[in-house]
A and B are shown apart, each in its own frame.
Chain A
């Protein structure tokens, strides 16, 4: 009985591009039997108010994610590379366009 009721449609993650020039942004997830259905559902669920010009759907189990346990190893090393940031460089205000 439990098996029968168990949801058979896999989970998809939905990304919407709100307008041209913007990135696709993760907006949530939904259930669908296949990619085509997932796109339809995403359109109906996440763009009811004229929100998008493009949609991506990705099977949730296809997403490879960094693990929070590795957070330190993954993200801390970039924390001290201040020379990657434009404000690190002092340039006199009198120099234009930079």
Chain B
């Protein structure tokens, strides 16, 4: 490394073995057949990818809002990693959706040019976090649910979806672990943190039911093993949730009125005002400069 010529030093890639630097970044879709499987409805497959992509995109957005606000610098890194992972999943899924739809759109057209009613994410991901306890409660619910879904999707009959899921499983396993550990630490920490964690658990519980209500697209795609019927992963989720709450000395909210009316969920395009706020922030710059290239 030449230390005196600033820029040369940076492009001078000596393979100095003393330093652990990463190399060899893998394309998760390398060698994967991108053709839409026979007998699969393109509209349904595209809509399904949009829904899974929107979940990741909006959850990532909420995590991005924590940048520079994390309780400790180490967690700044961790939250950004999770946000990056989910953003990566969103991009792969929206790209797949656009490709299958074949209407000349791309990931950015889907992310930036749809209005709230066009978004298919579950409402859990829209919720703003009142504090760090709310964030980790929401992240635990989201990751435990998504991990169960992705785990099954690794055998999806759409090879692209299967490959995206395989990549996602590794990522979300870590997210779930990170969130679970924090729920336990806060639940079993100080009196103050216990109360805040319990309040966060109570606040997130009403949003859980919706995660397991299949929408029409999922019901049509599940029999051919393209998609997963989310109602089939409920018991897996419940087991994880109960285990973490117990370790955290927290009480599950009894007799919860879960907002899970079929036909009126985020998957149907029914959202809270929070999504409109998120989209104003997410899409504002892109929409204010039409025709721009980035």
Are A and B in contact, CB atoms below 8 Å, in the complex?
yes
- On A, residues with C-beta under 8 Å from B are 9, 16-18, 22, 25, 27, 30-33, 36-37, 40-41, 43-52
Q: Out of B20, B73, B174, B178, which one reaches A16, CB within 8 Å?
A: B20
B20 touches A47 (CB 8 A): yes
Asked if A44 and B20 make an inter-chain contact with CB atoms under 8 angstroms apart, the answer reads no
Lowest 8 CB-CB distances: which A-B pairs, in order? A50-B22, A49-B22, A51-B20, A18-B20, A41-B74, A44-B77, A44-B78, A16-B20
Q: Is B17 among interface residues, defined by CB-CB distance under 8 A?
A: yes
B249: which A residues are within 8 A, CB to CB?
none
- Looking at A16, A31, A41, A47, the one whose CB has the most chain B CB atoms below 10 A away is A41
Do residues A52 and B81 form an inter-chain contact, with CB atoms below 8 A?
no
In the bound complex, CA of A17 to CA of B75 (Å):
23
A-B contact pairs, 21 of them (CB 8 A): A18-B19, A18-B21, A25-B18, A25-B20, A27-B20, A31-B74, A32-B74, A37-B181, A40-B78, A40-B177, A40-B178, A41-B74, A41-B78, A43-B174, A44-B81, A47-B20, A48-B77, A49-B21, A50-B23, A50-B25, A51-B21
Q: How far is the CA of A45 from the CA of B181 in the complex (A)?
A: 18
**Contact residues of B between 5 and 48, Cβ < 8 Å to A:** 17-25
Docked complex: B180-227 residues within 8 A CB-CB of A: 181, 185
User: Could you say which residues of chain A place their CB within 8 Å of the CB of B174?
Assistant: 43
B4 within 8 A of partner (CB): no
CA distance A3 to B119 in the complex (A): 48
- Pairwise interchain contact B17-A45, C-beta atoms closer than 8 A: no
Chain B contacts of A33 at CB under 8 A? 185
> Per-position contact with A for B69-97: 1 when CB-CB < 8 Å, else 0?
00011110110010000000000000000
Q: What is the CA–CA distance of A2 and B17 in the complex, to the nearest angstrom?
A: 43
Chain B residues near A36: list those with CB within 8 A: 181
The smallest beta-carbon distance between A66 and chain B, in angstroms, is 21
**CB <8 Å contact, A31 and B72:** yes
